[in-house]
Chain A
Amino acid sequence: MSSQAQHPWAIDVQNATVHYGPVQALDHATVQLGRGMVCGLVGMNGSGKSTLFKTIMGQIKPDTGSVQINGQDPQQARKKGMIGYVPQNEAVDWDFPISVREVVMTGRYGHMGFTRRPRKADQRAVDEALERVELSAYAGRQIGQLSGGQKKRAFVARGIAQEASIMLLDEPFAGVDKRSEATITKLLREVADDGGTVLVSTHDLHALPQLADEAILLMRRVLMHGDPTRVLQPENLAMAFGLDPMKRGGQ
């Protein structure tokens, strides 16, 4: 923890540019996030949100620029289990024969040995994580038999069991009802209050001010990074979603 505290940024992406063939997905994006906060990531489809996540996770190496996690090389940070992530709905095979508890237990694999045999501490961490997200009663269910919001909470529990200091969530509110959304929001706030760094991509702009301390407007470049209410000003949103408010006003 002390070495983490010395470095000012939990996530430090400098000047990252990413191309997919001829298509530019990120353009000199710089994103620096501190600790104990939730940051909302806003942008239209194809604005590079998923690419930014992949860059932070080290699945993509940027053409230019650098990524540091808690002041460390991303590979080192991953090995230490610093990065937890909650996948998009479409990225998960919900028919997979795995129980909620087993999913959460995979968060502990970094703490386990060669054959991933759980020890008492692992069992306890999973129990506690399940309790935190209020899924203890559903631990034995097959993962696909949860509701939309419960599924998300199961993956958040995985990050908690992992003791990840950084949590990345790709569209956690898609297909989630209002009540579950409130539960997840409360949960992510708690993760932040415990000193974690939470980066959430979302289309749900109304809920953003309650959820996030900061917001980023992305359109391949970082258009804006700051207080959510300021970032969500109509003229700023218009910029991110490719509309020109001046032009529209003139018509």
Chain B
Amino acid sequence: MNLIELLVEPLTYTFMLRALAVTIIAAVLCAILSCWLVLIGWSLMGDAVSHAVLPGVVLAYIVGAPFALGALVFGFLAVALIGGVRDTSRLKEDAAIGIVFTTLFSFGLVLISVTPSQVDLNHIIFGNLLGVSAADLWQVLIIGAITFMILLLKRKDFTLYAFDPTHAHALGMNPKLMGAVLLGLLAMTSVVALQAVGVILVVAMLIIPGATAYLLTDRFGTMLVIAPVLAASGGVLGVYVSYYLDASTGGMVVLAQGLIFVAVYLFSPRQGLVASRLATLRRRRALSTAG
């Protein structure tokens, strides 16, 4: 089998086409959002919100509402609870986050276990790329398009919010509202990504691409290009490899993104470990010859 056949063969299956479509949409969306999350320092918050949407999604399934709605409600509930516990007790934020999201996530697990359903709700937890239905794909497309447009149009405001919220306030903007919008987009994006890799691994797609891009450039605008390109490449690679190895698709997608991060972490021209070690060595050698 030559390379072209290798690439084309999976595409003859509708389920593979849908899997690739959802992977690319989810990867691009998560990657763009992750650029802000990484810079604001919201990685843990991304972890929390993406897990806490689980009961919302299950409840939405039970009453027949859109998943995004349930996710939004529980995403905001999680953020409110985290803020509440942090501000009204002596606990620090990381403890508040840990308590709130695991409790909500467990609530979701319990709901799943007692809900009779035709579709396997376990797919929400581990993702079900190969079982994406046409309706799922539509939902991903619609949520993805809305989120993408908001992020694209207001990207400069979000970047200002991440860099200097006080200045945003001084210009008469509302930083609290901007933060809330970002968290809402985070909840919506979680719904898209959980189709691909499941609730547990969504957080990976929300952190890895932004972190990888941050190690490659000093320009936020460039990050917004690098992150989605790398994330989508990793995603497509993961789907193909999982097809031929018959391995977990969601797992393989995140594994591919993680391996790309490792490569960049080691070999990034300026921020990479190898480059900075070499630079240190060179400096030392220069010093010793000068001395």
Q: Which residues of A contact B (CB under 8 A)?
A: 57-59, 75, 78-81, 83-85, 87, 91-93, 96-99, 102-103, 106, 109-110, 114-116, 142, 158, 162
Instruction: Please classify the interface of chain B as helix (H, G, I), strand (E, B), loop, or mixed, using the class held by over half of its residues.
Output: helix
Per-position 1/0 for B222-253, Cβ under 8 A of A: 11000000000000000000000000000000
A78 touches B169 (CB 8 A): yes
Per-position 1/0 for B161-180, Cβ under 8 A of A: 01110110111110000000
Name 11 interchain pairs, CB-CB below 8 A, sorted by A.
Answer: A59-B166, A85-B167, A96-B162, A97-B218, A97-B222, A98-B159, A109-B156, A110-B171, A115-B156, A116-B156, A116-B157
* A130→B171 CA distance, assembly (Å): 20
| Residue of B39, B160, B162, B167 contacting most chain A CB atoms (<10 Å) | B167
A87 touches B164 (CB 8 A): yes
| Residue of B160, B166, B172, B214 contacting most chain A CB atoms (<10 Å) | B172
- Quick one: closest B residue to A81, CB to CB? B171
B107 within 8 A of A: no
- Quick one: closest A residue to B160, CB to CB? A106
A57 touches B170 (CB 8 A): yes
Q: State how many angstroms separate the Cβ of B175 from the closest Cβ of chain A.
A: 9
B276 within 8 A of A: no
A109 touches B160 (CB 8 A): yes
> Hey, which chain A residues are within 8 Å of B172, CB to CB?
75, 78-81, 110
B139 within 8 A of A: no
* A53→B274 CA distance, assembly (Å): 45
* A59→B172 CA distance, assembly (Å): 11
B163 touches A98 (CB 8 A): yes
**17 other A-B residue contacts (CB within 8 Å) besides A79-B172, A97-B219:** A57-B169, A78-B172, A81-B171, A83-B170, A84-B170, A85-B170, A87-B164, A87-B167, A91-B166, A92-B164, A96-B163, A97-B217, A106-B163, A109-B157, A109-B160, A114-B153, A116-B156
> Hey, which chain A residues are within 8 Å of B170, CB to CB?
57, 78, 83-85
> Hey, which chain A residues are within 8 Å of B173, CB to CB?
109
- Quick one: closest B residue to A105, CB to CB? B156
Within 8 A of A (CB), among B164-210: 164, 166-167, 169-173
B154 within 8 A of A: yes
* A183→B109 CA distance, assembly (Å): 62
* A97→B157 CA distance, assembly (Å): 15
* A91→B170 CA distance, assembly (Å): 15
Q: State how many angstroms separate the Cβ of A47 from the closest Cβ of chain B.
A: 20
> Hey, which chain B residues are within 8 Å of A158, CB to CB?
167
Q: State how many angstroms separate the Cβ of B38 from the closest Cβ of chain A.
A: 10
> Hey, which chain B residues are within 8 Å of A87, CB to CB?
164, 166-167
* A162→B173 CA distance, assembly (Å): 14
Q: State how many angstroms separate the Cβ of A69 from the closest Cβ of chain B.
A: 11
* A162→B168 CA distance, assembly (Å): 12
* A92→B153 CA distance, assembly (Å): 25
Given A109-B171, A110-B171, A115-B153; A97-B166 close (CB under 8 Å): no
- Quick one: closest B residue to A158, CB to CB? B167
Given A97-B220, A114-B153, A115-B153; A78-B162 close (CB under 8 Å): no
> Hey, which chain A residues are within 8 Å of B156, CB to CB?
109, 115-116
> Hey, which chain B residues are within 8 Å of A162, CB to CB?
171
> Hey, which chain B residues are within 8 Å of A98, CB to CB?
159, 163, 219-220
Given A109-B156, A115-B153; A93-B163 close (CB under 8 Å): yes
> Hey, which chain A residues are within 8 Å of B164, CB to CB?
87, 92, 106
Per-position 1/0 for B15-58, Cβ under 8 A of A: 00000000000000000000000010000000000000000000
* A106→B13 CA distance, assembly (Å): 49
A59 touches B39 (CB 8 A): no
Per-position 1/0 for B121-142, Cβ under 8 A of A: 0000000000000000000000
- Quick one: closest B residue to A164, CB to CB? B170
| Residue of A83, A87, A109, A110 contacting most chain B CB atoms (<10 Å) | A109
* A75→B164 CA distance, assembly (Å): 18
- Quick one: closest B residue to A75, CB to CB? B172
From B160, B171, B214, give the contact of A97 (CB < 8 A). Answer: B214
> Hey, which chain A residues are within 8 Å of B159, CB to CB?
98
Q: State how many angstroms separate the Cβ of B57 from the closest Cβ of chain A.
A: 32
A57 touches B166 (CB 8 A): yes
* A75→B4 CA distance, assembly (Å): 61
Q: State how many angstroms separate the Cβ of A199 from the closest Cβ of chain B.
A: 13
> Hey, which chain B residues are within 8 Å of A78, CB to CB?
169-172
Q: State how many angstroms separate the Cβ of A247 from the closest Cβ of chain B.
A: 39
Given A97-B214, A115-B156; A59-B219 close (CB under 8 Å): no
Q: State how many angstroms separate the Cβ of B144 from the closest Cβ of chain A.
A: 20
